Amino acid sequence: MSEKIEILIAKYFSDGLSSDEIQRLMFWIEASKKNKRKLNDYIDLNVTIEQLKSEGQDDSLLWKHIESSYKVPVRKLNYRKYAAAASVLLIVALTIFINKERGVEFIIDAPAIVNNNIEIGTDKATLTLEDGTNVNLEKGQQYISDNLESNGEEILYKPSSSVKQEIAYNYLTIPRGGQYFVKLSDGTQVWLNSESKLKYPVNFIKGETRNVELVYGEAYFAVSPSTAHNDAKFTVSNLAQEIEVIGTEFNIKAYNDEEHVYTTLVEGKVKISADGLKEILKPSYQSTVSRLDSNISVGLVDVKDEISWKNGVFSFKGKSLKDIMKVMSRWYDIDVIFVNKDLESVKFKGVLEKSQSIEDVMSVMASSTINSYEINNKVLMLK
């Protein structure tokens, strides 16, 4: 357990937590059952000690009870000086736990925030029309044309089944620090994550395969069924693979700076094809396609974690800080530097709201994972 978490628990019992500290403590509690057990141990010990105090027991007996609770020899401290900050004996118990696990006193490194220009991600995208015109789509701004309209948070194409043999394509590009929703003309819904690009027809030709391309990035698809479109199939392609949609909802993660492409099936069924290899996914399974040799592997995953970004949450379970910071850099449009390279492989488990500021996010991580960090303009340095 982090020393900083132990301090938050102590402050909790003395009603000394700020709103930010309450949030950090709650994130830590919800991160694992083990954390909840540790908190319960503290509560049980505190209640028992308070009961002994109410019965008039002297300090020596209380100290013996604390020692027996932790079953370790400890150095008796002058703990009366902590009375103003929190429950005296609870602070002693926390100090014992710190000494038991580390044998040393600790110093909390405060973050260095030189100039924080980091903004929370929001709804924004660039729409490239068939004639090459670029249209900036931003929250609070409307854009309307003959076949589509956007309110700044989503773009909706009007239903149409074209009989033309030539297809006109649009591109939707999501920058770092952005996200966007698009409803295609066939009714298919697509949520696009930060740093993503989708190519798609303005209208689909009636009876022919409906094909879109995830050029790069991450997207969640809820596909309009083929039964509603004269049995026309729906496919999603990118450089590493092609997906034939037999079912309805799935997530594709295909960032250019990652060695693998991940496809997670939520509902229905999809067929993955890569360089002659094929795999059919069932719900709750994820395929991993190597960009190097097109090898396909399939495994069971926690779907909620994989698609949490779509619902405004980052859910990390045992992810390395290196992988997590890739996600953070895209959403907050920042550069991340690992001053301490050992931190790249450190695991973090927790749930973070996408609406949180980078300082709030880093406070949660600093309470359990890293020692210190620095923010300078749009650069985050982990120490």
Structure-token match 């209208």, residue found: 203
192, β-bridge pairs: 180, 219
pTM, entire model: 0.72
pLDDT single digits (tens) 301-319: 999 999 999 999 999 888 8
Instruction: Count CB neighbours of 377 within 10 A.
Output: 12
Pick the more confident residue, 245 or 56: 245
* CA distance readout (Å), 335 to 176, 306, 344, 375: 11, 23, 14, 10
Nearest to 278 by CA among 246, 251, 304, 301: 246
- Quickly name the fold that domain 122-306 has: Jelly Rolls (2.60.120)
Radius of gyration of the chain (CA): 27
The answer to whether residue 81 scores a pLDDT higher than 90 is: no
pLDDT of residue 16: 65
pLDDT of residue 3: 61
pLDDT of residue 20: 62
Segment 95-124 mean pLDDT: 63
The answer to whether residue 357 scores a pLDDT higher than 50 is: yes
pLDDT of residue 236: 97
pLDDT single digits (tens) 268-279: 999 999 988 999
Residue 281 CA neighbour count, 13 Å, CB half = 36
- Quickly name the fold that domain 312-382 has: Phage tail protein beta-alpha-beta fold (3.55.50)
Q: Residue ranges per domain, the chain? A: 3-102, 122-306, 312-382
SS3 21: helix
